[in-house]
Amino acid sequence: MPKGKVAFLTTPASGSRADLIMSLAPSELEVTCIDNALPDDEKIPLCSDADAIMAIPPDVSVGLLRGCPNVRFIQLLSAGYDRIDVPAIGEMGIPIANNGGANAIAVAEQTIALMISVCKKMMVQWHSTVNRRLWRDSLAELEMVEVTGKTVGIIGLGRIGKRVAKLLKGFDAHTIYHDILEMPEEVQGELNARPVPLDELLATSDIVTIHVPLTSKTRGMLGERELEMMKPSSFLVNAARGLVVDEGALYQALRNRRIAGAGLDVLEQEPATPDNPLFELDNVVITPHVAGFSTETSVRAARFGYANISSVLGGEPPESLIVPEE
């Protein structure tokens, strides 16, 4: 007999990913898939007897929870949680956990891919060769640079930032980082990463890569002032959240070649509008917020999520707990 009921909130856009997650449900949990695009008053009857809610994407409203008094735990299958009212849900006494770093490998790999793509002008090469059918057009003007041996500054040395640092060791990079938490010396040694103040990181890095959650403290943390501190030859990579960077200031910095380029998996407004001026620039590589997606990520996130739910329903504390900002 199932030991608990789980309402799995997802959307049709999740497609086969949702099917895969459902197929991994353990026998002790009765999991019901519910379309999260439905209004709350239609979802409440479907969730009213759930002991836990699992969500992808991370949208769980306070109104829904008020109509589902049995819910004791919320498990997100994403790393980000900025679309959830964490303080209000915390006041209701319902703990929330994210995916326990299940997407760290995928995001770190996409980060390295963006670094290489923007440094090597991959999309400019592709457009010239495939779209325009021009073989090695304007090769001398490409000004391609290598990632190997560069100073890379990581903003946020959490699970994803650490994975990026590990991959950078293979590029013989000089890795520096800035984080609100002090890392043990053994971690710094293992990652070959040195802590520095944010201003120093921005001023000395050849590549700056962002791996912080979106909070009131990180929103807009890189604006005109911070971008002005970066070297004209430097690149910015953002696979975290678009709102961490002032997009207007970034556009001006890129258009005026104040920095050399950017690799972006996230934008301020998503889905992006067709008239976003960043699309007109040739020194930007943009992907549609897919860095955390992979078959392996879905499997890891599902297994972690189900195990975490089972632990909580069995009276154990959750792992990867999200703590409200103070």
What is the per-residue pLDDT across 199-214, written as a single tens digit (0 to 9) for each? Answer: 999 999 999 999 999 9
- The contacts of residue 309 (CB under 8 Å, 6+ apart) are 4, 6, 29, 52, 54, 73, 75
**Amino acid 136: pLDDT:** 80
Contact by Cβ (8 Å): 43, 89: no
pLDDT-based confidence at residue 248 (cuts at 50, 70, 90): very high
As a whole number of angstroms, the distance between CA 12 and CA 17 comes to: 10
Catalytically active residues are 241, 270, 289
Is residue 143's pLDDT more than 90? no
Structure confidence at residue 3 (pLDDT) = 84
The pLDDT value recorded for residue 2 is 57
Enumerate long-range contacts of 188-195, CB under 8 Å, 24 or more apart: 191/157, 191/162, 191/165, 191/166, 192/165, 193/154, 193/157, 193/165
What is the C-alpha separation between 175 and 192, in angstroms, rounded? Answer: 7
Residues spanned by CATH 3.40.50.720 within the chain? 4-102+294-313, 104-286
pLDDT of residue 1: 41
Class of domain 104-286: alpha beta
pLDDT at residue number 128: 82
Q: What is the mean pLDDT of residues 173-196?
A: 96
Higher pLDDT, 128 or 311: 311
Phi, psi of 54 (to 5 degrees): -115, 135
Task: Flag whether pLDDT at 326 surpasses 70.
Answer: no
pLDDT tens-digit profile of 46-84?
A: 999 999 999 998 899 999 999 999 999 999 999 989 889
Per-residue pLDDT, averaged over 275-302, amounts to 95
> What mean pLDDT comes out for the span 143-148?
94
| Band of residue 14 on the pLDDT scale cut at 50, 70, 90 | confident
Task: Decide: 137 and 159 in contact? Cβ < 8 Å.
Answer: no
State the chain's mean pLDDT as an integer: 94
pTM of the full structure: 0.92
Domain 4-102+294-313 has CATH 3.40.50.620: no
Residue 183 has which token pair? 């890392």
The answer to whether 150 and 172 are in contact (CB under 8 A) is no
